[in-house]
Amino acid sequence: GAVVSQHPSRVICKSGTSVKIECRSLDFQATTMFWYRQFPKQSLMLMATSNEGSKATYEQGVEKDKFLINHASLTLSTLTVTSAHPEDSSFYICSARVAGTRGTQYFGPGTRLLVL
């Protein structure tokens, strides 16, 4: 099956610093990847759609200058949380869509971010 990796799995940083999270499709090429945020005991909240070779599409209310997304290759998308603050602490999950599957997404294992 399609495998998506995510790194790091956990990160603790100081307020004001930037954190980069990587999302890789290991055994397939993904022209479209997605970044989600999940709060405790809740469903997934889509932050942005990452398209290879073009600018990401952000959902309403998500600051594109704070959450920088780069999808420079068919197997790698990165999310950089700039000038992180404690309210950015959350569980961030990426996914990749497999072509020809009518929308099926495969998810990475997630990154737990804690901003002190």
User: In whole angstroms, how close is the CB of 9 to other proteins at the nearest point?
Assistant: 9
Q: Could you list the residues that contact other proteins (CB under 8 A)?
A: 1, 4, 6, 41-44, 46, 49, 91, 93, 95, 97, 101-110, 112
Contact between 84 and 115 (Cβ < 8 Å): yes
3-class secondary structure per residue, 1-16: CCCEEEECCEEEECCC
Q: CB 104 → other proteins: shortest distance, Å?
A: 5
Residue whose CB is less far from other proteins, 24 or 97: 97
Residue 95, SS3 per DSSP: strand
Whether omega for the bond prior to residue 109 falls within 30 degrees of 0, making it cis, is no
CB closer to other proteins, 15 vs 108: 108
User: What three-state secondary structure class fits 63?
Assistant: coil
Q: How far apart are CA 36 and CA 21, in angstroms?
A: 12
Q: How far is the CB of 109 from other proteins (least distance, A)?
A: 5
Q: Could you tell me which residues are beta bridge partners of residue 77?
A: 23
> Between residues 58 and 107, which has the closer beta carbon with respect to other proteins?
107
Shortest CB 112 distance to other proteins, Å: 7
